[in-house]
Amino acid sequence: MTRSLELRPRQRIRRTLLLVSLLAFPVTLYYFSPALIIMAGIQGVINGSFVVFAAMFVLSPLLGRLFCGYLCPAGGLQDCVATITTARPRQGRRNYIKYGIWGVWITAVVLVYALIDGHPRLDVLYETEHGVSVMAPQSYIVYYGIVLLIVVPSLIGGRRTFCHYLCWMAPFMVLGTKLGRRLRVPGVRILATPDRCRACATCNSACPMGIDVRAAVQTGGIFDAECIQCGSCVDVCPAQVLSYRMKGGTAGGQRTQTGLRDPRLVKP
Binding residue for ligand SF4, selected from 37, 66, 211, 260, defined by CB under 6 A: 211
What 8-state DSSP symbol labels residue 131? T
Our finding on whether 158 is near ligand SF4 (CB under 6 A) is no
| In the complex, minimum distance from the CB of residue 233 to ligand SF4, in angstroms, rounded to a whole number | 3
Q: How far apart are CA 79 and CA 12, in angstroms?
A: 13
Of the candidate spans 137-145, 172-180, 239-247, 254-262, the one that interacts with ligand SF4 by CB under 6 A turns out to be: 239-247
What 8-state DSSP symbol labels residue 259? S
φ, ψ of residue 9 to 5 degrees: the values are -55, -40
| In the complex, minimum distance from the CB of residue 197 to ligand SF4, in angstroms, rounded to a whole number | 3
For the chain, the residue count is 268
H-helix or E-strand spanning residue 245: strand 242-247
Q: C-alpha angle with apex 227: 219 to 90, nearest 5 degrees? A: 100
Of residues 38 and 211, the one with the C-beta less far from ligand SF4: 211
Of the candidate spans 80-88, 115-123, 231-239, 253-261, the one that interacts with ligand SF4 by CB under 6 A turns out to be: 231-239
Please enumerate in sequence order all residues whose Cβ is within 8 A of that of 147, keeping only pairs 6 or more positions apart, or say none: 25, 77
Our finding on whether 200 is near ligand SF4 (CB under 6 A) is yes
Our finding on whether 160 is near ligand SF4 (CB under 6 A) is no
Our finding on whether 47 is near ligand SF4 (CB under 6 A) is no
Our finding on whether 188 is near ligand SF4 (CB under 6 A) is no
Q: How far apart are CA 96 and CA 90, in angstroms?
A: 12
Binding residue for ligand SF4, selected from 146, 167, 222, 260, defined by CB under 6 A: 222
Q: Count CA atoms within 13 Å of residue 151 on its CB side.
A: 12
| In the complex, minimum distance from the CB of residue 102 to ligand SF4, in angstroms, rounded to a whole number | 20
Binding residue for ligand SF4, selected from 54, 97, 201, 265, defined by CB under 6 A: 201
Q: How far apart are CA 171 and CA 206, in angstroms?
A: 24
Residues in touch with ligand SF4 (CB under 6 A) = 190, 197-203, 206-209, 211, 213-214, 217, 222, 227-233, 237, 239, 241-242
